[in-house]
Structure 1
Amino acid sequence: MTICKLIENFKNIKIAVIGDLMLDEYVIGKVERISPEAPVPVVKIQKEKFVLGGSANVVNNLSTLGVNVICGGIVGNDINADKLINSFEKNVDTSLILKCDDRPTIIKKRVLAGNQQLLRLDWEEEFHINEKQENKIISNLEKKIKNLDALILSDYDKGLLTPSLSQKIIELCKKNNIIVTVDPKPKNIKNFIGASSITPNKKEAYLAAKKSFQVNIDIIGKELKEKFNFETVLITRSEEGMTLYDENIHNIPTYAKEVYDVTGAGDTVISVFTLAKAAGATWEEAAKIANAAGGVVVAKVGTSTITTDELLETYRNIYYNGEEIC
């Protein structure tokens, strides 16, 4: 299938994202003096903003590409939960989100002056979901699963994707022939045995395999695939591009001309990688499309998304020397 037909098919795809939802807030100002009360800078606030963070950024990436998205996770029963939920686009179904009284919605607030981050304030509780919450998520997912083309597990190690819940979701997807991809934290790699694919960065891959950084990366990729029964493994490698491990090894060079900020790049990669596969690409084609998407977002400042026009233009420039392909 051509890239043009794949992108045209995006609007027909439905993907669920289950993971650790959070808001990234920014307080931006300038420093002109030190406080007389304590030896700390006084920040004169000029602007405040917030963006969707954690797995909510994965949702945001997909919805920007026109995908019908179902969002799942846990938030507090507070005003920040409403702010997060109301920030999603209209093509996002939030019916898999649980509101709970025993924890706040996760907020990461950064205080910035000029180009300097002065302070970060976190609102979060260390927790693991209980059996009742787990059963509710699975019950709600079972009602949606027949209509899905793929599911993404976005793990920020905040207590949602426990071994029990992760395996129940993966088994439910496999039973219904649904693609399930994972952006895992290395310490939790065992939670995701049997998933279709994982998308760690190079450092995360080494940590997940518990190997020295001197070991050849291809050994790491193949070992992760075999040990944890993944169909494929996609390792992102910064300036070295990315490598896909299926029955073979596919090295995909990076084409990012400028790198301003890698924040959220992993969210974009797993979003586009999964979406392209669900839309009809092979795993290798999906990796190449995700590589193009990653090259776009690292040239933007802050957690970013990509449009279908940007994706098509970048893909055309990389693989077809800018020639018209649609």
Structure 2
Amino acid sequence: MEKNRLEQILDCFGKVKVAVVGDMMLDDYIIGTVDRISPEAPVPVVSVKKERFVLGGAANVVNNLATLGAKTLCFGVIGDDSDGDRLLNVFREKNIDVTGVIRVEDRPTIVKRRIIAGTQQLLRLDWEDASNIRKEIEDLLLNKIKEHIDEIDAFILSDYDKGVLTPRVAKEIIEMAKGKNIIVTVDPKPKNAQNYIGATSMTPNRKEAMECLGKGKDTDVLEIGKELKEKLSLTNLLLTRSEEGMSLFGNEKIENIPTYAKEVYDVTGAGDTVISVYTLAGASGMEWYEAAKLANTAAGVVVGKMGTSTVTKEEILEFYNSIYNEWN
């Protein structure tokens, strides 16, 4: 890919409107130090120095898209609580359309709170209700999507198995999208794989792909990718393989893309970055193999950052230049 073409594609990101549907959540970090054990119980006492929160789950996908300049719609279900206020406030600050977010009183906004001393995570507290949303909430969500369907260039279904992407919601979105020739990419939970038959693409990691098919770890990973693509009737499948890179399973052949990363500090949220860049690039007119290379580049940047992170267009351009070295 020539430098000018890559720059043009990255510039096109701002013209693409992507709808993210899935489990929105907050990642909350309480960070401190430990220098004694509690006299009340044999547990460390954490002296809190700071607290920070970042967007997590499907909300991190939204954050990735917004950072890359895409027009973003988010559809999901959160609690009518203070954590829901925090999440929506961050979205609004980033000019993200939140008209598709439904607030309910009978389930909390999902929060994963981590207690960290130095570099050691001592405890994680989860606030969540992972049961499937009620039928009337499904109706509301699907109606909101139908209202916006003519504006949307691509869907990302971000499934963390927390109850938003029910079988009905997933299948009806795919049907709607097919009728309008809209791209649908999926970051799946293996137990829900059958919900995504007929999607455009899926981006599982090696472990998830094997679990989708109930295969053991000794099964050939390339055979797994081919079988999963065929079983779910996908246009293509992008299989992420950690240190072995990525494999794109298209209609005629398998394209292998090696891993590039300067240093790996934290893989948290890397999958969200991959599906965000991959989908944006595909919706911007790239061939899927080109889109996979670009997603691979973005992953190489984001794993070099601590915690749940995003990547900018400038970082992608610089890193792509350094690893593929296809122009002066």
Same fold, judged at TM 0.5 (above):
yes
Q: Which amino acid aligns with 1:220?
A: I
CA distance in 2, matches of 1:91, 1:43: 36
CA distance in 2, matches of 1:79, 1:99: 11
Aligned to 1:260: 265
Indicate whether 1:122 and 2:130 are aligned: no
Aligned to 2:135: 131
Q: Which amino acid aligns with 1:65?
A: L
Residue identity (%):
57
Aligned to 2:83: 80
Larger deviation, residues 141-150 vs 260-269: 141-150
Aligned to 2:196: 192
Long gaps (5+) in structure 2: none
Q: Which amino acid aligns with 2:316?
A: L
CA distance in 2, matches of 1:238, 1:129: 33
Secondary structure of residue in 1 paired with 2:21: strand
How many residue pairs match? The answer is 323
Alignment of 1:7-18 (within 5 A): 7-18=10-21
Match of 2:224 among 198, 220, 231: 220
Q: Which amino acid aligns with 2:276?
A: S
**How far apart are residue 145 of structure 1 and its match?**
1.0
Are the equivalent residues in 2 in contact too, given 1:26–1:110 (CA < 8 A)?
yes
Are the equivalent residues in 1 in contact too, given 2:229–2:249 (CA < 8 A)?
yes
CA distance in 2, matches of 1:274, 1:171: 18
Alignment of 1:91-240 (within 5 A): 91-240=95-244
CA distance in 2, matches of 1:138, 1:176: 15
Secondary structure of residue in 2 paired with 1:87: helix
Aligned to 2:63: 60
Are the equivalent residues in 2 in contact too, given 1:66–1:91 (CA < 8 A)?
no
Larger deviation, residues 209-218 vs 159-168: 209-218
Runs of 4+ in 1 over 6 A off after TM superposition: none
CA distance in 2, matches of 1:35, 1:130: 43
Aligned to 2:49: 46
**How far apart are residue 90 of structure 1 and its match?**
3.1
CA distance in 1, matches of 2:215, 2:123: 34
Are the equivalent residues in 2 in contact too, given 1:67–1:91 (CA < 8 A)?
no
CA distance in 2, matches of 1:212, 1:35: 44
Indicate whether 1:36 and 2:30 are aligned: no
Are the equivalent residues in 1 in contact too, given 2:247–2:256 (CA < 8 A)?
yes
Are the equivalent residues in 1 in contact too, given 2:13–2:69 (CA < 8 A)?
yes
CA distance in 2, matches of 1:256, 1:126: 34
Map Cα deviations across residues 192-245 of structure 1 (whole Å, 9 max, x no partner).
110000000011011111112212111111111111100001000010000000
Are the equivalent residues in 1 in contact too, given 2:130–2:161 (CA < 8 A)?
no
**How far apart are residue 66 of structure 1 and its match?**
0.4
Q: Which amino acid aligns with 1:303?
A: T
Secondary structure of residue in 2 paired with 1:310: helix
Match of 2:248 among 244, 248, 259: 244
CA distance in 2, matches of 1:50, 1:217: 36
**How far apart are residue 257 of structure 1 and its match?**
2.1
CA distance in 2, matches of 1:212, 1:260: 29
**How far apart are residue 249 of structure 1 and its match?**
0.1
Using the size of structure 2 for normalisation, the TM-score is 0.97
Using the size of structure 1 for normalisation, the TM-score is 0.97
- The CA RMSD measured in Å over matched residues stands at 1.0
